[in-house]
């Protein structure tokens, strides 16, 4: 059973989950069930009015002309690369410090992922590193707006324009974020979104969407996501089956209305962590995440760094104290077995490797209570204390 909000006094907290999707979904249960019932009766399970209206509200929220639903964030990335014609021999520049799907979309089309390093402050792509990686074969850049914060897009767009490269934004973790006022997904040629349950707009299964201002691209995405078929059983090109289903669209439509409130709550939770970490003297021991001042961070994750090789022990202790944490991501993509065939100069990815050893994500979901956050910070503090004591004894 999820802990009811505010119903538990501080001293009674004995566990805090990393994420409790039930707390966000439960208040919407009746509304969602009602739309499920409508869909049941309609017999229309793929596409339909719920999908159209979700596309409209995502496009509106992202300030783009078009939004096209698909089956997942992974497929959104794949479709985006198909739409710009990525094929064997093409290079696509992307971070190594991201979820696997950003890179697998490239390799599925025969393209070569070219991993570049991150800015250690934001965990996002470093424009100078991108510039060094550009070759005659480079066709596109995939900036990943990691943990809910946009990449520094101006220098990336300048580079892309100068070298005539396509920019596909991976917005899986950043719906609602903006960069200097421009929404994530409205800056590059396309934005790719995921509705996986752990994302800021999470469905009850898989789902995804693409945003774009280009009418030809929008049309091509629709074609590619439906077997390249137009009209029925006449195939213009080789597409895939990647459609958004009505039940997911209904859930997401109900949740979309609360997205801004939830983003605001995540932001408040991030501010509260910062305050608590300062109060508990943790700022000298761990590195807190930073948010760029002119942009809107939507805090899909609250990711701290724990240096000195202490991260895994600290995490274990927090697990023992029933505090949920996660490591996004323990093995950067350039170190994955499946990419060992690529010719990678690992010395160019030192910030990425270090992040993989130091990051730890704490609970930050919107319904998390202040008392729970205090508990998380208290547990972190005691785990850090234990490490310090151990370190002193050993030296
Ligand atoms: C979740 C995620 C994806 C993939 O989305 P799915 O909907 O799970 O396929 C891609 N990129 C990033 C950065 C993600 O976090």
Cβ(169) – ligand 1 distance below 6 Å: no
pLDDT of residue 330 exceeding 50: yes
Shortest CA distance to 67 belongs to which of 242, 295, 222? Answer: 222
Q: What is the pLDDT of residue 289?
A: 97
Clarify whether residues 195 and 96 are in a common domain.
yes
Among 256, 277, 297, the domain-final residue is 256
Q: What is the pLDDT of residue 338?
A: 97
On whether residue 2 sits in a domain, the answer given is: no
Cβ(248) – ligand 1 distance below 6 Å: no
Measured in Å, residue 357 CA sits from the centre of ligand 1 at 21
Q: What is the pLDDT of residue 3?
A: 47
Backbone angles phi, psi at 32, to 5 degrees: -70, -45
Structure tokens at 317: 């202790």
Q: What is the pLDDT of residue 391?
A: 82
On whether residue 4 sits in a domain, the answer given is: no
Give the position of tokens 């064997």.
88
The residues facing 323 across adjacent strands are: 16
Shortest CA distance to 80 belongs to which of 137, 129, 143? Answer: 143
Average pLDDT over residues 339-358: 96
Among 207, 236, 256, the domain-final residue is 256
Clarify whether residues 226 and 276 are in a common domain.
no
Structure tokens at 148: 């809910």
Number of domains in the chain: 2
Backbone angles phi, psi at 308, to 5 degrees: 70, 15
3-state secondary structure of 258: coil
pLDDT digits (tens, 9 = 90+) for 264-323: 999 999 999 999 999 999 999 999 999 998 899 999 999 999 999 999 999 999 999 999
Clarify whether residues 252 and 237 are in a common domain.
yes
For residue 202, what is the domain's CATH number?
3.40.640.10
Average pLDDT over residues 179-200: 98
On whether residue 199 sits in a domain, the answer given is: yes
Clarify whether residues 232 and 308 are in a common domain.
no
Contact 120, 355 (CB under 8 A): yes
For residue 356, what is the domain's CATH number?
3.90.1150.10
Cβ(211) – ligand 1 distance below 6 Å: no
**pTM for the whole thing?**
0.96
Clarify whether residues 373 and 265 are in a common domain.
yes
On whether residue 152 sits in a domain, the answer given is: yes
Contact 213, 206 (CB under 8 A): no
Clarify whether residues 31 and 134 are in a common domain.
yes
Structure tokens at 217: 């691209």
Measured in Å, residue 149 CA sits from the centre of ligand 1 at 15
Clarify whether residues 266 and 252 are in a common domain.
no
What range defines the domain where residue 267 resides?
259-394
Alpha-carbon distance 12 to 278, whole Å? 24
Mean pLDDT of the chain: 95
Closest atom, ligand 1, to C-alpha of 146: 13
On whether residue 20 sits in a domain, the answer given is: no
Cβ(300) – ligand 1 distance below 6 Å: no
Clarify whether residues 227 and 358 are in a common domain.
no
Q: What is the pLDDT of residue 394?
A: 82
Clarify whether residues 234 and 297 are in a common domain.
no
Residue of minimum CA distance from atom 7 in ligand 1: 73
């Amino acid at each position: 059973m999820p802990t009811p909000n505010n119903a538990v006094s501080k001293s009674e907290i004995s566990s805090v989950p990393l994420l409790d999707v039930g707390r966000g979904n439960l208040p919407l249960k009746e509304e969602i069930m009602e739309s499920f019932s409508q869909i049941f009766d309609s017999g229309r399970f793929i596409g339909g009015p719920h999908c159209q209206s979700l596309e409209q509200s995502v496009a509106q929220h992202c300030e783009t002309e078009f939004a096209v639903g698909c089956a997942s964030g992974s497929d959104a990335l794949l479709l985006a690369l198909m739409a710009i014609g990525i094929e064997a021999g093409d290079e696509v520049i992307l971070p190594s410090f991201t979820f696997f799907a950003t890179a697998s979309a490239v390799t599925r089309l025969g393209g070569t992922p070219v991993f570049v390093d991150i800015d250690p402050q934001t965990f996002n792509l470093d424009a100078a590193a991108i510039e060094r990686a550009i070759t005659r074969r480079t066709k596109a850049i995939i900036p990943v707006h990691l943990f809910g914060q946009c990449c520094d897009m101006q220098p990336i767009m300048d580079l892309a324009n100068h070298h005539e490269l396509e920019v596909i934004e991976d917005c899986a973790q950043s719906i609602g974020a903006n960069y200097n006022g421009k929404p994530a997904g409205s800056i590059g040629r396309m934005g790719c979104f995921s509705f996986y349950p752990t994302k800021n707009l999470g469905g009850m299964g898989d789902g995804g969407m693409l945003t774009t201002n280009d009418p030809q691209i929008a049309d091509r995405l629709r074609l590619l996501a439906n077997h390249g078929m137009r009209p029925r059983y006449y195939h213009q090109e080789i597409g895939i089956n990647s459609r958004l289903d009505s039940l997911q669209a209904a859930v997401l439509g109900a949740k979309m209305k609360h997205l801004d409130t939830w983003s605001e709550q995540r932001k408040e939770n991030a501010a509260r962590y910062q305050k608590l970490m300062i109060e508990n003297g943790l700022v000298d021991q761990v590195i807190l995440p930073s948010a760029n001042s002119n942009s809107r961070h939507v805090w899909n994750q609250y990711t701290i760094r724990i240096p000195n090789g202490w991260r895994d022990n600290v995490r274990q202790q927090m697990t023992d104290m029933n505090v949920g944490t996660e490591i996004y991501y323990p093995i950067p993509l350039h170190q994955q077995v499946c990419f060992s065939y690529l010719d990678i100069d690992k010395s160019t990815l030192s910030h990425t490797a270090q992040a993989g050893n130091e990051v730890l994500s704490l609970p930050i979901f919107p319904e998390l209570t202040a008392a729970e956050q205090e508990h998380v910070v208290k547990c972190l503090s005691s785990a850090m204390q234990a490490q310090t004591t151990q370190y002193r004894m050993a030296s």
